[in-house]
Amino acid sequence: MLVTAASASRAVASRQRVAAARRFATVVDATGFKVAAVDRGEATTSISVVAKAGSRYEPLPGLAHVLKSFTFKTTGSKSALRTVREAELYGGLLSASLTREHVILTAEFLRGDEERFAGLLAQTLSSTKYLNHELHEDVLPVVSSEAAEAISSPAVKAIELAHAAAFRTGLGASLYASPHVAVPADAVKEFARSAFSKGNVAVVAQGISADTLAHVFQPTLKDAAAPTSSASKYFGAETRVADGHGQAVFVGFGTSGAATPELEVLAGLLSATPSVKWSKGVAPLAKTVPEGASVETLLYSYSDAALFGFLIQGATPTVVSAATKAAVAALKAVASSAPAAEDLKSGIAKAKFRAAQATEGRDGVVASLASGLLGGPSGALESTLSALGGVNASALSKAAAALTKAKPTFVAVGNVHELPYADEVGL
């Protein structure tokens, strides 16, 4: 009876959530670019400008990273210092982030200051000067610091190397600029002109109307040729890099097209992360991971490709090797025989939870709405949950088998003299 009541409660909540989304989400096509807004009556407002200008689109290594770090600098009407002072005066927050497919500029502020901060974002897009002295004095030091911090992490290094080995170019381009490749201010300015062109941008906001956004941004964005990227192709390879900061191994497999529901459920089924902190999980893979090692199941979904894999870390090469063998064996077990009903149910539930959780925060709303506006997967939660619920054991086993038939991507970072090779862990 309790289970039935809980199920009914979840169903009602789901219907209310979907109804709310339909009631508050609005989309406007402002003569060439898309605007989406969700207003639930929050006390604060956020506006995010999402441009298809991530690292896969950069014509020069590191250009996207530098462009991201060049935001909110001197424009045609304001100095960088004035922008900072105005944001602080009105209690707002300005930030920029970078993914392999997008550059995202965000302003968060109190409701009522919409025109001020929307105008600031519009000026950043249309009239940033990309001054040479700002590049060398303000931008490059930040870029270098972020890159150095990333490289010091064996996990981040393994993931970056894995993308390079898996896709080579495009999605294989690093998120971080290299100190060995110069990025001139003129190149950043030219890339920004195409990145922030009218047809290459989506504006996603919460706590403001779409019509207001269209009124502010439409006059400032210009027509220009958008950055291009060739269709992603998966290759797979083995890479080994010595590192003194720790031990990490990435084992992955690529697919064409965005991640399927089967891959989402497979990631949930093979997750070794416990649901209770400091406990040992009871999932099939969690039971076989040795003490002193951790296995994180990762699924990177892009507009035209996906990368499924395991990130294994540990204190010594020995435990990392044992955990890597356990992860590969767990994947092969699903590929060779359908999982038990209870394991499948758990995998579906975990996948549904991750999908729902990802759309509830501001970052999730931006990602899901912007993806659909810019030609990627729509990200509608109700359809995603329905597709995940329809995955059966046979389809899951076939998806795992298809992965294992592809050439693996294997990356070892750390003590490469003792860390395993791909053929030593069952690949």
- Tell me: do 242 and 292 sit in the same domain: yes
The answer to whether residue 2 is domain-embedded is no
pLDDT digits (tens, 9 = 90+) for 189-230: 999 999 999 889 999 998 888 888 888 887 777 777 778 888
Same structural domain, 82 and 173: yes
- Residue-wise pLDDT for 73-83, tens only, equals 999 999 999 99
Domain boundary among 161, 186, 217: 217
Tell me, yes or no, whether 143 and 256 share the same domain.
no
Judge whether 382 lies within some domain: yes
What is the model's pLDDT at position 140? 97
Domain boundary among 186, 217, 248: 217
User: What digits encode the pLDDT tens for the residues 368-378?
Assistant: 777 777 776 66
Same domain, 243 and 205: no
252 with 355, same domain? yes
Same domain, residue pair 271 and 174: no
User: What percentage of residues in the chain have a pLDDT greater than 70?
Assistant: 91
Query: Residue 91 — very low, low, confident or very high, per pLDDT cuts 50/70/90?
Result: very high
Pairing relationship of beta strands 44-51 and 201-206 according to DSSP bridges:
antiparallel
The residue count for the chain: 427
Domain span at residue 287?
A: 238-424
Torsional class of 229: left (φ above 0), alpha (ψ -120 to 50), beta (otherwise)? beta
pLDDT tens per residue across span 376-414: 666 578 888 999 999 999 999 999 999 999 999 999 999
Q: Are residues 381 and 242 in the same domain?
A: yes
Res 85 pLDDT > 90: yes
- Cβ atoms 188, 67 nearer than 8 A: yes
Residue with tokens 């709405």, as numbered in its chain = 369
Cα(66)–Cα(58) distance, integer angstroms: 10
Q: Residues 360, 211: one domain?
A: no
Looking at the domain assignment, is residue 161 inside a domain? yes
Among 148, 182, 217, the domain boundary falls at: 217
Verify that 271 and 212 share a domain, yes or no: no
In a domain, 11, yes or no: no
Whether 282 and 329 map to the same domain: the answer is: yes
Q: What mean pLDDT, rounded, does the chain reach?
A: 89
Residue at 312 is within a domain: yes
Q: What is the mean pLDDT of residues 263-278?
A: 93
Q: Of the segments 153-167, 211-225, 345-359, which one has the largest average pLDDT value?
A: 153-167
CA atoms in the 13 A half-sphere facing the CB of 86 = 16
Exposure string (b/e) for 299-314, b if CB count within 10 Å is 16 or more?
Answer: bbbbbbbbbbbbbbbb
Q: Is there a single domain that holds both residue 201 and residue 325?
A: no
Within 13 Å and on the Cβ side, how many CA atoms surround 364? 11
Crossing angle of helices 140-151 and 154-167, rounded to 10°: 100
Residue 233, domain member (yes or no) = no
Higher pLDDT, 372 or 16: 372
Residue 228 maps to a domain: no
Tokens 């030593």 sit on residue: 424
Q: Is 94 exposed, middle or buried (0-12, 13-18, 19+ CB in 10 A)?
A: buried
As given in the structure block, the two tokens for residue 90 are 């009105």
How many Å from the N-terminal Cα to the C-terminal Cα in the chain?
47
81 and 156 inside one domain:
yes
Domain count, the chain: 2
The pLDDT of residue 363: 79
pLDDT at 419 over 90: yes
CB of 54 closer than 8 Å to CB of 103: yes
Q: Is the pLDDT of residue 341 over 80?
A: yes
Q: What per-residue confidence (pLDDT) applies to 253?
A: 98
Residues 6 or more apart in contact with residue 314 via CB below 8 angstroms: 247, 292, 293, 294, 320, 323
CATH code: domain of residue 65: 3.30.830.10
In a domain, 14, yes or no: no
Taking only the tens place, the pLDDT of each residue in 22-66 is 444 666 676 667 888 888 888 999 999 999 999 999 999 999 999
Higher pLDDT, 331 or 276: 331
Residue 364 CA to residue 42 CA, distance in Å, equals: 16
